[in-house]
Structure 1
C-alpha cells in the first residue's frame, strides 16, 4: 500500500470523517486471513458505544471499547443466519481511539490499523499468538 499521509490541523482533533477515510484506506492492507472471512466490510465511526452496546458488553466506561465488529449474518449476539443479509461492519469509536492516541503518542494510522486487526481477528476467533503475529507483520510492512 502506498503510504498516503493525511495532514491534519493540529488545532483540532481528527473528525469522524478523517478516521473513516484513514480506516477505509487501510482496508486493503489488512491481513489476507482476515479479509477472507469478510464478504464485505463497511467502516462506521461513532463517538462512543451506544447504551445498548454498553449494556451488551457490560462496559462501565465507554472508553473501554475502541471498536466493534458486527457480522452481516448476525441476527442477535451469538445467533447467525446462514447467508448474510447485511454488510459486515466494523465500528470504530472515535473518542476512545483519540484518547488512547493522546496517551500513547503512537502514529494514529498505525494505531487504527492495529485496532482493526485486533477487533476483526478476535471476532473471527484467531488465537492471541496469531493476532500478535498479524499485528507485528503489519507493523513491519508499514515502514
Structure 2
C-alpha cells in the first residue's frame, strides 16, 4: 500500500461513528463521523491542489491507507487494545510516511501522537485556532486557505 514519491503526508483522524457492516470495508468507507468527513474533504482538496498522500490515524489500527480494509471496532487512545506507538511508527515506515512534511487535519491530541510517530517530520496544523468543521469545509472549498501550511 505504499505510494512512493509522495511529497507530503496529509493525516486525518478516524471516527467514533462507523459503518457497522460485517467484515472488512475500506477505511474511507468504514468511518462515517462528521469530523472524519470534514477533515477528509479538506485532505482531498489539499491533495488535489498541492499533492500528497492521505493517511488515517486510528487508535486501534494505527496509520492506515484509506483504501485498506478494516473491521468495525470501538477503541480510543486510552483503551488497553490501542495500538502501541512503536507499532504505529512501523506503519509509517511501511506506508512510506517517514521523513516527509505532514499536514495534520486533526485535534491537538492527535497532533501530539503524530509527533511521537513521525519524529523529525515537520508537522503543520491548518486547523489550529479555528473551528474544526468550519475550517475543514472552508479548506475543501478553497484549498489556498491551507497554503501557509504546505511544505
Higher relative CO (Cα under 8 Å, sequence separation at least 6) belongs to: 2
The answer to whether TM tops 0.5 is no
Larger radius of gyration: 1
TM-score (norm 2): 0.27
